Structure 1
């Protein structure tokens, strides 16, 4: 197996040569074999072991074993203890999902802090069939039927070409010692049920199940690439990017042979799950929206708009002290105060006739009419201001409607205020009360 492993690295994962690798090691046979293979080939490796504190004394013994193995092989070893069950409860996720999040976040932290290159995990060929069957049972698209990726950004799984039996034979012949996880024999978890009950039955039906599945996955990956190419072409034709929003042309979507299927492929990266509701948006009234954990999909007239859910709260205030020249948060603005000479002959300041009021991106306001610190905030129900040129007040909700702003544009709007009075709907309209007049002696120029 060592020769086959080295050949596989050189032919398919040559980028690992000369790199610093972090091996995720549980102490079980798979990760121990992986460690010995890389160590025997003189790779620069470190070990990372997570104690999830889920199996009492066995968890402690696993950790001790990994530490001793690292010392024996003279390999840098990192260990950590996690309060896994507490984390799962606090985040409303399963224990298995909690363990996954905790370990991969920690692995990435080690990589960054120690200038390592890749995370190496011990997933093998048998894991692929288990994963495919789990995805099939739970419901999945083409991605879920193509198995486990060998390379996923900086995570590499070089044992995917080798079976559990090959790993066992290597460990036995080389007289390796490893820790047995008794929970692997329990059918409490879905994966174990599939491993111990379903897979053996399938292997009875087809003794060459792993090779057959591998060929099938290769065919599916080819089909997957065709789908990706088609979706890439469609995306170019029907989508536009406006600020941080992605707009999908509804009319063009409806021309496709199966809009629901295309919507799945176009939107699956945004964590939506209710695909019937997504498809229904095509014929819903404007303003209808659905949410995933991370994104929102909004029907706005002739487009579907995808945007990230912002964590910022409307109650947050950003203060701008006097003499500030520029800010970058929450929005980029530049400030410049200007003293204005007075024209005694015409009884007005010398720049009044030069002030332009119809540029919403650059405003000039009367310095003496404002109070510092100025503040920037989100709009709230009941807000109103006096739009310049209107000669009266208007609720912001009505102003937004008249400006034909989408729901997302409304929510992304910022207000510049003085003593909680709106000076400027930033980038949209100045307030009449703060404009420069012929009697202004000092102005504040603000630019988006």
Structure 2
């Protein structure tokens, strides 16, 4: 079958745009409304999306607005939420974010393996190192770990989690009532890991799912992030404003993965796109301007501060003047550089900058008709810019409905997107191979 676009739906219940909660179409309690999240998942499944994705934060981030900031201040813990949603869906996957810096491998491996079983093999883990000082102070630290140290810990963390997910061989559970044998003790394995950051004996007390183990997703763009992604990730979320930089990233990741002995076709690169969609470009532009006009100024300034490392205080400056210089911090270095690049290349004032990143926070914002949106996605997909896209609807449910009802049919007409799910697991639909355990080969050889 011809290669087709893969799609994730990034759907925080409170909306992507920092002013989404002020839009009359957006439920005011969407961030913590389970029924609303279930409806979003069902709409995304109607649109045949591969997965519902959620980021996660480990600290309260106030928007800074005079009325108390924006709706992103609260939200559900993603694994808990997806476990509640899964029974109301059949095919769509669930990619939840969890931190290698502030979670222990055993607990993380256990909860994701549980979600994978509950969903019938539709779970994914978005690996993050968590880059905020506020999060550090919630986990017994005065400051966050240095960038390089976070990534060394992350590499070891992922290795331990993957080993734990292999604790039970696929056929370990005999469940023979007559013989009184529940599982084959020879097919369960400790991992006995001792490393720089973790000491874990194992085995994990959760068995494997229909897809083996959760899909591993990663989003780092720094050198350390790319190394981790190329060596461990099966899906990579990334942020680019132009096809040229997306191509550079795409080719670099595929080359690194190949050099590590991996099949580059099994490392899917999915840039983020935040689309404002209309039946005409004028209608789309009207939607963009309406939502932009709802931004509380203090929220916009707080957003820039957060994305440039948390050190830049813009209060009192001329908002129609340029963004001042800011030194990089130990936070998300690649995102800090991207925000600077957006400001400089577009000659944006401070006000124009926060208006542009208010929905996508550095991801690609598109404003246009369904045909124009599809044209851009097709261009990136066919020219080594992407294997698919992580779609960030600016506000909900309207932004998601627009994509499902207008863009999806256009992509299908072009033969670029599925008309039915390929299988029942997330791996089936993403076209990723089943991850056999390291124990499979010795037993297979013995059987011969």
TM-score normalised per structure 1 = 0.20
Greater radius of gyration (CA)? 1
Structure whose residues are more often strand by fraction: 1
TM-score normalised per structure 2 = 0.20
